[in-house]
A and B are shown apart, each in its own frame.
Chain A
Amino acid sequence: MLVVSLNIDGRTIEADENTTVMDAARGAGLQIPHLCACDREGYAPIAACRSCLVEVAGEVALVPACRRKVAQGMAVTTRNDRIDNVRRLVVELTASEMGEVEFAGQTSTTFGRLARSLDVTATRFGFDAVVTQPDTSHPAVVFVADACIRCGLCRVACQDVQVNGIVALAGRGTETRITFDHGRSLGDSSCVSCGECIQVCPTGALRSGAGVAGRMPAELTIERTAETICPFCSVGCRVELGIAGNRAVIARGADGPANRGRLCVKGRFGFDYLAHPERLTVPLIRREDAPKNPELHLTGADVLTLFREATWDEALDRAAAGFLKVKEKHGSARLAVLGSAKSASEDAYVLQKLARTVLKTSHIDHCTRLCASIPPLTEAIGTWTVTLPFSHILEADVALVVGSNPEVNHPVAASFMKNAVRRGTKLILIDPYRQPFARHAAYHLQLRPATDVALLSAMTHVVIAEDLIDHAFVSQRLEGFDDLKARVSAYPPEVAARVCGVPEESIVGAARLFAKAPNAMCFWGMGASQHAHGSDNMRALIALALVTGQVGRRGAGMHPWRGQNNVQGSCDVGLLPMCLPGNRNISDAGERAFFERLWQTDIPGERGLTVVEILEAAAAGEMKGLYVSGGNPAMAAPDLAMTRRALASLEHLVVQDIFPTETAAFADVVLPAAALAERSGTVTNTDRFVQLVETAVPPPGAARPDWEITCEIATRMGARWNFDHVGAVFDEMVRAVPALAGMDWATITRERQLQYPLSADPSNGGSLFATVFPAIGGKARIAALTNGSPGELPDEQYPLILVTGRVREHWHTGSMTRRAKTLDALSPESLVHVSAADFARLDLNDRERVEVLTRRGSVRLPAVCDERLQSGVIWMAMSFFEAPANDLTTRHLDTLTRAPEYKFCAARLIRDESKNIGSDNQT
């Protein structure tokens, strides 16, 4: 990096030699007009709009400031008669490419502001006389061709930044035009609705769909903006909400450390659940005449009929009294708490403190259990976090992705992964599904479901056989290599090729590519973890990464995808049955003593039960009281028939949520909580960034932040806490969680985001463990496999494999996203995906209603043919109340992580003769 000195409009400016004139000017507070330039990461200069032309001394032609790099001694003039005249003509000519009506509507757009600043109110060149109909075929994005100036910024947004590859600038010359896919309408295109194009379009030619969320109604003026963190996945995107009348009406990507201004469909169009009419606004108490019926599956307004409104005092008294009663009658061990990784860390901290110090139970868990991608990494190297941020993929030579569909589940992170591929990172994808993301892969090893161990072991076999291991790493930093060597000897690639259905040469090629890479990263998702042998999948992958020494450097390390927006924070503060805050072993008396001093009370020392175990205990009559804060086990847990029985059998169930969820239908008391955007606190993303949230909009009605409600219950049960403010919770949390060492509320409020550990060497850019691991002895350890297999294999009666997952538009159980109009319009119903071969064999029609059955239950829903699926596999999303996939799933748990096997069970699919008479087919 070389700093040069240049002169812009008479001012001397210092700038890095790689910056553009426009950026250098901006850095000095000088704005050079522009339309097709965007200063965000990934936007290369287009220089097509020509509104940023400036003079450079010594050059005859005007040069675009957005593209020209600065140089030592350069003298730039950004305004004089010549430039002003050309700029005005350019804008006038640009206007003439629009329709007259659309030009007149350019009031608040970038183009409108530029035209106004140059006094261009009309064009002598004549407006485009051809008036076209806007493309309104897509629920989220509308394209108004009459407002388009062909600057190509949307194309860069779609092709180069988010790398979704849908927006094209087709044609040539005067025929140049914006198109989608190969000339489709938006609605018929593969648009993934990230809305990046809407965010950058300088004329509003691309805008949010009419009448649905994300579109700013013309009559509303944005009164203010406020930032929050997206409440969905673990990427933790910072969002700027535009607020009118105390209501969020529009969302834009803000410059967060993880998202750099980007959002996905959920982040952009998923916020209007905040103002949904079904929001809980008052505390509710179950009516005496509303029995808990496990046969009923209710949600939303139907749930509300079971309750009457109550005051906070009455509801809190009832909640506390119920727990006290169970405690007295059955003992503390019959009480359990289920939190949520959607809540802020302060909520989670207070909740686990309530469980341990007031309820005196260790049965405390939350939904992270259901994804459980980190314990094998803890087992291997002692960390409870990713070893490096996902953005390091931009520095990695190779990225190995196992059991993940990031474009759907972590879309913003996926965009950076695709950026990396464009820059030369080679992608190895191991996943049974031929997802669109596979287009970017150098190798897509499309293995048969649940054969990951064989495949990964074969890759390790190749690496060892060809002596591609990192000898220094293996000898100095690893234990258990000999056992691993013996174990993988059983998996020569030709054997794995047969088991996995993957060509042998691909296995060998991928193994070599990974091992030989100077820096390689591993990612894994729930395709790896959500199996009865999920830990083995992850252990096999971790072993491969360790023997090749691919950890501890920039661009080399392991990044298990976390699920919800605050998985990391919830785990850090001890919302777990086997860990105290800071991931400290509950069975260790010394660790317990620390907390007993901190909390001034004794705490239970035995490991508690996990999510599914708590529910199973309830079904067996062994669990009597449950406090569910933010979770929704009646949709999220496997085998929902059992789950509903479990919930219905509880003597006391308190549900604290923002909506009347399926779980609330079984509650005795329902407490209305504030959503993330309605309160302050912190959440920690997948990259270990602790991010501040502040109140963007007020909570509806009487709803209150989770931590406050929990504190009220604690007080009513005799606790004396002094949390007068969320900052006080944060500061106590810091004392309890070593990872947060060095932080305090004042600092996080000022800095807004801090990546822990603060003590990390900044030159590693957040990649940890360069020399030593946090495991005992400082070394990594190859764990033995349990040699598990799927809990339920297909048979004659249930010949298909059912895999469940999520769609891009919906989050988890759908409680928020199904209540976001645009998201629900984009993805309104559950569909069972059937491979082309099975679709033909079963002689199905597109969207024909079918019945899917397993040994747990059955659901009816439309079927679609999915050419990307392997034959013998069917796939369903978990988020649809109307056809809950978890009515079908099994309760087989992984022995280490206790995560259920959502990715594999035996199923049968038959035509739904009962419903076909009415012909729902929409072929």
Chain B
Amino acid sequence: MSNHLIRTIDGAVVNIVDDVLAHHDATSDRALEILLQLRDRLGGITDDVLVRVADGLKLSRAELYELATFYPSVRYHPTAVATRAAACEDLVCALVRSPHSAGEREATRDESYLCGGSACRGRCDSAQDVVGTGSNVVHADKADWRTLESYRSAGGYGYVERLRRGDVDAADVLAAIERSGSASSVVRKWRAVRDQHGEPVVIANASEGELGTFKDRHILERDPHGVIDAALVAVAVVGARRLIIYLRDDYDHLYRELQQVINEMRVAGLGADVEFDLRRSGGAYICGEETALIASLEGQRGRPREQPPFPTTHGLFGRPTLVQNIETLYRLRAAWGMRVEASLPVTRLLDPAVRIFSVSGRVCCPGVQLMASLPNIAALIAACGGMTEGEELGGVVLGGAAGSILTAEQCRLPLDDLLRAGIRIGSGSSVIVFAQRDDVRWIAAKMAAFLARESCGQCTPCRVGTSKMAGMLAGGPLDPVLMRSLAEVMREASICGLGRSAGQFLAGAAERLQGSAEC
């Protein structure tokens, strides 16, 4: 019984907390955004702040503590606020900065080397920039996005205006999308949401968190109106009134950009009848997954939910919910006639034949590559200026943390052959290039450590399995039988794709590493 203690909290902090609370409805579903705004102003969340927010939101301390400790971006610490961010220690940054060989690695090994340190912040394309800068991570983020005026002069927002005026209707839109050859899942989802009872919600998912993926950032940095335009069409088609833009918290420059973009639109009277809600992810990779994303928007921990039911029928607070990622929305506009503009390369995505890749690692010019045709991965590396000086291609990690580790040989095979063999590019289209001298097992261990850290922790196979997997790959002799057992249970029994794909990854890694390393 400790509830009679008199607590002290700094008066200035009280004012900031109360100010942030006053700017929200003080409903518990805003809890994460409230914590993030307080972090923005206070640097992090300490216990005295947590207790006051919990009281203000009528939440138990335990409930808010769960959120604060689930979402790393909240930067919770019981008593102190960390003063600076540590350098990223995830695969790409560590690869670019690290020694190559197992021997060199052992020499510099420390406790934080594998899964300690700071998490990926989605700047894998500028990993080299931070070499030698110690722990002060500075990114030269772009902020020269295309203006509303320029976008409108290219025909932007014209279609949604016609839709709102009634010149075209929802059926026309759906038909146009179908004709355009976009993913059939888009039309299916839109229809499903539209046909449901209850007030639908549209969520633009800008919470890309896959290792080595930064394509959505690339799009939003250059042409944010293109995304919002398509989202507004979706809002109109499914009959929603609310558009949530769910942004990866690490993209703080985009948070500011999107606030301005939304303001620009308000001033211009665009989307006037739509409630814009710009929310942030809290730094958990899993919140890129639709149901985890929805859970986080409900003020819960970002734990994926078993499907069915699908978000299209039972989404945000049980309402029909359309979640679409940034690339899909951006590309979709081709359906109603938006065309590639030579002066703005990112608009090439309106051409369905063009593929977008996030290329990082040991290449001369890491970054987003738009490829109209791609014979093989080696061609992609060439498009990035080839390997960094003095390096031979060792292979690539394709598809992010639970992706495939390809050999240099596989990189030279026709891409179609790889795909036929079951290799997946993955939705993030992440390609992490490594050199011949790089230690593949170290790379696999890094991938596993990422998955262990980013597992939501909900189900046993994933929570324990990813951790055991990271432990197995981190060092010592490998036991292929045990690895296969672990891979099997993760693949078969995990709730969501993270654990299942982690099992898939482990099965592949077991094969790849067998005989190659210290088995």
Contact = CB atoms under 8 A, between A and B. Distances in A.
A737 B69 CA distance: 59
A47 interface: yes
Contacts of A436: 3
B493 interface: yes
A865 B66 contact: no
A182 B65 contact: yes
Interface residues of B, number: 53
Nearest to A863: B4
Contacts of B494: 50
A879 B455 CA distance: 50
Given A67-B306, A86-B488, A86-B493, A166 B461 contact: no
Nearest to B471: A126
B482 A125 contact: yes
B463 interface: yes
B460 interface: yes
A174 B60 CA distance: 24
Interface in B487-515: 488-489, 492-495
B463 A174 contact: yes
Given A149-B460, A174-B463, A182-B61, A190 B2 contact: yes
Contact of A62 (B284, B468, B493): B493
A173 B454 contact: yes
B456 A836 contact: no
A117 B72 CA distance: 40
A165 B494 CA distance: 28
Given A172-B455, A175-B457, A183-B78, A89 B65 contact: no
Nearest to B115: A174
A94 B467 contact: no
A181 B410 CA distance: 52
Contacts of A47: 306, 459, 495
Nearest to B468: A125
B468 A171 contact: no
Contacts of B60: 159, 164-166, 181, 439
Given A49-B460, A846-B4, A170 B70 contact: yes
Contacts of A49: 459-460
Given A47-B459, A86-B488, A170 B464 contact: no
A172 B284 contact: yes
A826 to B, nearest CB: 8
A899 B70 CA distance: 52
B489 A181 contact: no
Contact of B467 (A61, A165, A174, A864): A174
A167 B465 contact: no
Contacts of A685: none
A318 to B, nearest CB: 45
Interface string A97-129: 100000000000000000000000000111000
Contacts of B78: 182-183
Interface string B55-91: 0001111111110111110000010000000000000
A866 interface: yes
B324 to A, nearest CB: 24
B452 A174 contact: yes
B65 A179 contact: yes
Contacts of A174: 452-453, 455, 457, 463-464, 466-467
Contact of A50 (B50, B461, B466): B461
Given A168-B62, A183-B65, A173 B4 contact: no
B489 A93 contact: yes
A39 interface: no
A179 B60 CA distance: 13
Contacts of B64: 182
Nearest to A165: B60
B51 interface: yes
A785 interface: no
B6 interface: yes
Contact of B460 (A90, A170, A866): A90
A836 B467 contact: no
A168 B62 CA distance: 5
A180 interface: yes
A434 B456 CA distance: 36
Nearest to B481: A124
Nearest to A866: B4
Given A47-B306, A86-B488, A89-B489, A94 B464 contact: yes
A541 B331 CA distance: 63
B492 A62 contact: yes
A165 B62 contact: yes
B452 A97 contact: no
Contacts of B457: 150, 169, 171-176
B29 interface: no
A159 B456 contact: no
A848 to B, nearest CB: 13
A407 B454 CA distance: 38
A172 B61 contact: no
Interface string A176-190: 100111111000111
Contacts of B485: 89, 124
Contacts of A168: 62-63, 65-66
A97 B460 contact: yes
A93 B454 contact: no
Nearest to B70: A172
Nearest to B283: A172
Nearest to B6: A865
A354 interface: no
B458 interface: yes
Most chain A Cβ neighbours within 10 Å, of B452, B465, B493: B493
B460 A159 contact: no
Nearest to B472: A125
B47 interface: yes
Nearest to B57: A439
A866 B454 CA distance: 42
Nearest to A808: B1
A555 interface: no
A27 B277 CA distance: 46
Given A159-B62, A165-B62, A174-B457, A86 B492 contact: yes
A181 B7 CA distance: 15
Given A125-B468, A182-B61, A190 B461 contact: no
Contacts of B70: 170-172
Interface string B280-295: 0000100000000000
A865 B457 CA distance: 40
B318 to A, nearest CB: 12
Nearest to B3: A190
Contacts of A867: 4, 6
Contacts of B492: 53, 61-62, 82, 86
A583 interface: no
A740 to B, nearest CB: 42
Contacts of B489: 86, 89-90, 93
Contacts of B467: 173-174
A627 to B, nearest CB: 39
Given A126-B468, A182-B78, 14 more contacts: A62-B493, A96-B464, A96-B468, A169-B457, A172-B71, A172-B454, A174-B463, A176-B463, A181-B62, A182-B64, A183-B65, A440-B58, A846-B4, A846-B5
26 contacts: A48-B458, A50-B460, A62-B492, A86-B493, A89-B485, A96-B468, A97-B463, A97-B464, A125-B482, A166-B60, A169-B66, A169-B457, A172-B284, A172-B454, A172-B455, A172-B456, A173-B463, A174-B463, A174-B464, A174-B467, A181-B60, A182-B51, A182-B54, A182-B61, A182-B64, A846-B5
Interface of B: 1-6, 47, 50-51, 54, 58-66, 68-72, 78, 284, 301, 306, 452-461, 463-468, 482, 485-486, 488-489, 492-495
Interface of A: 47-50, 53, 61-64, 67, 82, 85-86, 89-90, 93-94, 96-97, 124-126, 149-152, 158-159, 164-176, 179-184, 188-190, 436, 439-440, 826-827, 833, 836, 846, 864-867
3 A-B pairs closest in CB distance = A165-B60, A176-B457, A168-B62
